[in-house]
Amino acid sequence: MDRSDRPVGPLDGTKIPRYAGASTYARLPRIDEVAAYDVAVLGAPFDGGVSFRPGARFGPESIRQASRHLRPAYNPAQDVSPFQVLQVVDAGDVACNPFSIDESLEQIHGGVGELIGGGRRVVTLGGDHTIALGALRAVAAEHGPVAVVHLDAHLDTWDTYFGASRTHGTVFRRAFEEGLLLADASTHLGTRGPLYSAADLGEDATFGFSVVSAPDFDRIGLEEVVGRVRERAGDAPVYLSVDIDVLDPAFAPGTGTPEMGGLTSRELLALLRSLPAEQLVGADIVEVAPAYDHAEVTSLAAATVGFEIISAMARVASA
């Protein structure tokens, strides 16, 4: 975009109260209200791939509502005013078919694909984790295979659920099989809890992932965790996928498959601020199921995750 034109930012919370005005993410302009953009926030309201509690189809709407809490003019933790550096827009929602996983994936693929290119990036709001496969197809078509940094309580590299091969628990196995991931470049962060089989971790490694579990954060610390992620990714393009259940249920109860022993909100934010933002080509935030939430705790966490991701992109752009 022409940098002589000041980006159109969110509504000013000192002039229009945060509970009023636009219902877009962070009260940003809609995509049709600007001539060009750097980052688009796109909703993917689909939860037909869940294996336990449904409801993530209402995630994008709930995240947008909770994003009203943000004071988005300046991020002191990253020392950047993200919406003065980048033109960020809300691109609305993909019209996902609630009765067809495959058709919804194609719709998401098309929706993300229309928005990227020319250095533009998309932050996709899910929806269940199945939606990441559609987004990854679009990102890989633009950038080639990527390194995935996957924040989640679960591996999401199982094979099938009840005969269904594309679900929220199989998404990264399918992505590997489709050639969307670079070999031995991706990392799971924050995994924990029981597995279906002792063989699950061994199988997972064959899909190019290394695992840093939630207990590992206590054992080796954030600096070592980030070092491992950067070493794995090298100089490859990075796709960031954040399942909100990477947080402990105390910090994110409104999700479909909660697991005890997760990260705290503070740990998650510190991690996001330290990841290789200079290589980031796309991101998603998934598995917010507001029916199980209270006081918008989980939705606010997801909205803040989005703000930190966009702030990291802006910090790199302004360097």
Query: Tens of pLDDT along the chain (319 residues)?
Result: 444 578 999 999 999 999 999 999 999 999 999 999 999 999 999 999 999 999 999 999 999 999 999 999 999 999 999 999 999 999 999 999 999 999 999 999 999 999 998 999 999 999 999 999 999 999 999 999 999 999 999 999 999 999 999 999 999 999 999 999 999 999 999 999 999 999 999 999 999 999 999 999 999 999 999 999 999 999 999 999 999 999 999 999 999 999 999 999 999 999 999 999 999 999 999 999 999 999 999 999 999 999 999 999 999 999 8
Tokens representing 238 are: 């990075």
User: Would residue 211 count as lying in a domain?
Assistant: yes
User: Would residue 19 count as lying in a domain?
Assistant: no
Residue numbers of the domain that contains 191 = 25-318
User: Would residue 203 count as lying in a domain?
Assistant: yes
Return the ∠ at Cα 240 (arms to 233 and 313), rounded to 5°. 95
User: Would residue 255 count as lying in a domain?
Assistant: yes
Report the b/e string of 135-161 with b at 16+ CB within 10 A. Answer: bbbbbbebbebbbbbbbbbbbbbbeee
In DSSP terms, which residues pair with 146 in a beta bridge? 181
User: Would residue 14 count as lying in a domain?
Assistant: no
What CATH number does residue 228 fall under? 3.40.800.10
Tokens representing 91 are: 């691109």
User: Would residue 9 count as lying in a domain?
Assistant: no
User: Would residue 8 count as lying in a domain?
Assistant: no
The pTM of the full predicted model, rounded to 2 decimals, is 0.96
What are the two backbone dihedrals, phi and then psi, of residue 100, each rounded to the nearest 5 degrees? -145, 115
Look at the chain and report how many structural domains it folds into: 1
User: Would residue 66 count as lying in a domain?
Assistant: yes
Q: By C-alpha distance, which of 177, 127, 169, 137 is closest to 150?
A: 169
